[in-house]
């Protein structure tokens, strides 16, 4: 179920920023690799797990994970485990 269909909505995971869904999507699209890692790190740290996939793909996260992981804080171990478990099972 797609949640972030209203481009003017303020995403809950950017609770401390005046940013809309459209602005966040545009920032991701225009970002350099380092900037994208920071944005994805915020997303993966603050959003509910299923909501992450509304803005990115497993392939993109996997490719940028060495740069993303420094921004994950307490969620780093969770995401490392999840990506590794999926890979071991051939799921993603």
Range of the domain at 59: 12-88
Has residue 22 been placed in a domain?
Answer: yes
Instruction: State the total domains in the chain.
Output: 1
> Could you give the CA distance from residue 67 to residue 75 in angstroms, rounded to a whole number?
14
Report the pLDDT value the prediction gives residue 2, as an integer from 0 to 100. Answer: 58
The model carries a pTM of: 0.91
Report the pLDDT value the prediction gives residue 15, as an integer from 0 to 100. Answer: 87
Q: What is the mean pLDDT of each run of 10 residues along the chain (92 residues)?
A: 82 92 97 98 96 96 97 97 92 78
Report the pLDDT value the prediction gives residue 90, as an integer from 0 to 100. Answer: 86
Has residue 74 been placed in a domain?
Answer: yes
Has residue 69 been placed in a domain?
Answer: yes
**What is residue 48's three-state secondary structure?**
coil
Has residue 53 been placed in a domain?
Answer: yes
Has residue 35 been placed in a domain?
Answer: yes
């Amino acid at each position: 179920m797609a949640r972030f269909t209203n481009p003017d909505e303020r995403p809950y995971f950017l609770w401390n920023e005046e940013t809309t869904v459209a602005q966040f999507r545009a920032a991701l699209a225009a970002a350099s690799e380092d900037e994208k890692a920071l944005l994805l790190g915020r997303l993966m740290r603050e959003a509910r797990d299923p909501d992450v996939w509304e803005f990115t793909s497993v392939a993109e996260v996997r490719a940028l994970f060495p740069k993303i992981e420094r921004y994950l804080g307490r969620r780093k171990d969770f995401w490392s485990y999840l990506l590794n478990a999926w890979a071991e099972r051939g799921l993603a």
